[in-house]
Chains A and B, each alone.
Chain A
């Protein structure tokens, strides 16, 4: 029996020729990641276990991104705790204000993750890196502490659900629309404990940024990891970035899948996920006229340069509705700078949107755009749970950058076609 790409990566990581779905393995890590919310607990566990040095100071990555620049004294104390650990351990990859970005934007951007890697991160959206043909999964702080100490993680090899995406997408249909559509189809536990493998002609045509968006949200279907087999697009992305040699693996033609789902992307309209689950996806056109108070464009899901280009394309020469507070957050300093050089920041400010330094801030109701009771947001982020972006009686509608920008301009949920 052949192996899927996920099985091949995991077999390699535990030094074996073959692993099968359902087996428990100890995998060697290429990278272990935590942020300002999850690292403090991990560091405490690490030190309580009597560990003195991390297993490899080049491969433990700490990023302060959730509550920074610090939103209050308590979060400043947490950041200080992480910072002092990073200095004590002489970590090569510690990212603080001014050098940081949203973790899942900067790790691929800086070439820290490469195809073939096994990565754990104490952040559920660590699954983003599957877009590079790596195995990456979110864990809690204790698993991360164990990983920092030993360079290993225990894993159950996941079954793979393969999604074959074929056809030509509509003009404004993006990776975000694909993934919202898929989660809408299978539900928030539709891929529980499994790998979601995205394949087919439409995936080969999809940009790297679009692939990151899709793998990012695999966790919203309960998946252990999302993955795309590396190809020429991946190779091009890694050129000049990869800090280690990429290992480009592909699944065998006779690999076993738990399920195969065929999707015709030409039938997918721009999607919006209604409150309070990412699986509540409907065509955006069905929600026209719904009044919106705030639009957020950014996050580990949609804070990359291509996302900002899409938003700018819609907002260019326009002003956002006076009823809508529009907040644009580039995902990294590099994305911010590129957006500036390309004139995108001028377009956003000209449209009367706020532009912020990179942060996860509003996505999890932390800061930089918390919602009041009864308020409604359209957001390019990944979760629309009860109270996610603020008050328990606020609402989040998830969408891609085109819909978010068109909504900001119109004041009600809109598709870019309508904004033309």
Chain B
């Protein structure tokens, strides 16, 4: 019940955890605040932002709490960032300004530099997974993976181009075949009446492999042809 004057808000974005404290923080609330803050910072999170913009500190004891918290976060390889943008808080944290990382907002910290954040992520996941990579090895690995990715991309792109060419060829040949079939049909229909009259000899069937498929048939055809002549 002693914590009833404080509102606590947690926004968990995976690696980023923002804890917002608001309300009057006097000496009666200290124990409760300590318990709640420790409880909330215990879980996962590479960057823990403690938003104190709407907190009003009535006693100086909270500085010790935040210093302890900073140590704990440091031991857990997480980064503690204090978020506020007010003169009141500036004055409250003036003594330890160089110890704490203080930013006006979470976005401001995000914009403050990529390298230190990457380094922090590295440190955090090293402690979590037990795998430690030196920056040189990390960069080499990253370049290697990037190289593989680029090579893979080029191979896929080249194959894609090849497949596209082949497809275009197939489509063109298909169109050509259709055109020829159409043309043959047209020609057949035009000579149809003449063939009926016997003016034109129908040789189309002869050239067909469907009709003469073996030597016996071929010889029979030659014999018939000779007899007709």
Q: Do A and B come from one complex?
A: no
* Chain B interface residues (CB < 8 Å from chain A): none
